[in-house]
Amino acid sequence: MNKVLLIIQREYITRVRKKSFIVMIFVVPALILAMGGAITLIAKDSGTPETEQTIKVIDDSGVFGGRFHNKKNITFQGASQSVTSVKADLKKQLDEFLLVIPTIYKKKDAVQIYSQKKPGIALTNEIEKQMNDIAVSNDMLKHHIDTAVMHSIKSDISLNPVEITDTGEKKANLGANVGVGIGCAILIYISLFIYGAQVMRGVIEEKTSRIIEVIISSVKPFQLMLGKIIGVGLVGLTQFAAWIILSIISVKIAGSAFSSPQGSVMSFLAILKTIPFGYIMGVFIFYFLTGYLLYSALFAAVGSAVDSETETQQFMFPITLPLLFTYILSVSVLFQAPDSPLAVWLSMIPFTAPVAMMVRIPFGGVTTTQLVISMSLMVVGFLFTTYVAARIYRVGILMYGKKASFKELSKWFFYKE
């Protein structure tokens, strides 16, 4: 045990003393705050184009002519020339578009927009919205429906989600839950790759430099692998703790600059208070640790089986595929239905649970039974992978010059001590 502790101490101290580690502790929170501010500023004008754009309209239906409304940097003009003539003019104007509306405009893909460059999504959405509004109003008039009355009674209903808890009712803030869930999933995904790769590179470096031969004479291969994994994992936890503390301090400093409760920062802080960060952080640490132990053991086995980092690709893809698959689903599907059967099963399987569970946790739909089963399977999963990886590691760490394959790794697993 003392030997394992010495290896852990060496791996930890060597990495935390690096300048890059100290710099990243301060740089990452600053980058996150800067990125958040930039996104907020960009989002204000994201729905409008930066340059003035002119839409020339040729309306063969007679329904839309003169009924388009100009928006910021978007101007609609009726075109008196032929389609061919306007198309020729478009080759000279980068920010001009030709909107051709045929008589049968309701037919799929009947309405066409021509331009020298591809139109932006914001522009096409604005044109489609205005055309749909005009078409509906026109159909209402045909059926002798008073459009003024329809517009006057038009409602704008929005839901206000309220969560019932043991301490009372509180606002659900679904947007904040989505942000926290996806943010935690992305952080888990990236951290497992970063710190797992550090373990793998460390093993490869020691193997190629032949230092491993000296170390193995004093400690068992399993002790070396375990010490390296835990040491790098503690480095990751130290970094997370520093980032969390600095981020909280930064947000509080920014919040104190706004004396008005209507300030955007103060509103942001109020939303954060509705989220159980203590509970989420505890779950995050557990899934980071168990997920890291599970994947880093496999990364260590891969590192012991190869002689250079370029040879790791054939082994890395099958190992990381479940994690990548879950990550893609998390940012596209799972957050929309966190209690769906797919989300529940993915949060139970050890290879996918670290990412899937962090998407589900902020929504509060994870039962105690589900959480206990998932955590138990995570513990069993990393114990199993550590056992498998250790048996491969003990042989591969002293194997040189032989190109490994999955078949070869299976042979190493069954070698006797």
What's the half-sphere exposure (Cβ side, CA atoms, 13 Å) at 411? 7
What's the half-sphere exposure (Cβ side, CA atoms, 13 Å) at 220? 9
For domain 53-152, give the CATH number: 3.40.190.10
Query: Residues 177-206: pLDDT tens digits?
Result: 777 778 888 888 888 888 888 888 888 887
Domain span(s) for CATH 3.40.190.10 in the chain: 53-152
pLDDT at 262: 46
pLDDT at 312: 79
Among 310, 301, 290, CA closest to 199? 301
Give the pLDDT mean for 75-82: 84
Query: Residues 373-386: pLDDT tens digits?
Result: 999 999 999 888 88
Query: Are 224 and 203 in contact, with CB atoms under 8 Å apart?
Result: no
Query: Residues 303-334: pLDDT tens digits?
Result: 888 877 777 777 888 888 888 898 888 888 88
Query: Residues 147-174: pLDDT tens digits?
Result: 676 666 666 666 666 666 666 665 656 6
Of 63-67, 205-209, 283-287, where does the model show the most confidence?
283-287
Strands 53-59 and 96-101 come out as parallel
E strand segments, 155-260: 162-165, 168-171
Query: Are 269 and 255 in contact, with CB atoms under 8 Å apart?
Result: yes
Task: Please give the structure tokens belonging to residue 396.
Answer: 């591969």
Neighbours of 111 (CB within 10 A): 19
Query: Are 101 and 57 in contact, with CB atoms under 8 Å apart?
Result: yes
Helix (H, G, I), strand (E, B), or coil: what is residue 209?
A: coil
pTM of the model: 0.69
In the predicted structure, residue 268 carries a pLDDT above the cut 80 = no
The angle, 0 to 180 degrees and rounded to 10, between the axes of the packed helices 277-305 and 353-360 is: 170
Task: Please give the structure tokens belonging to residue 76.
Answer: 């609609």
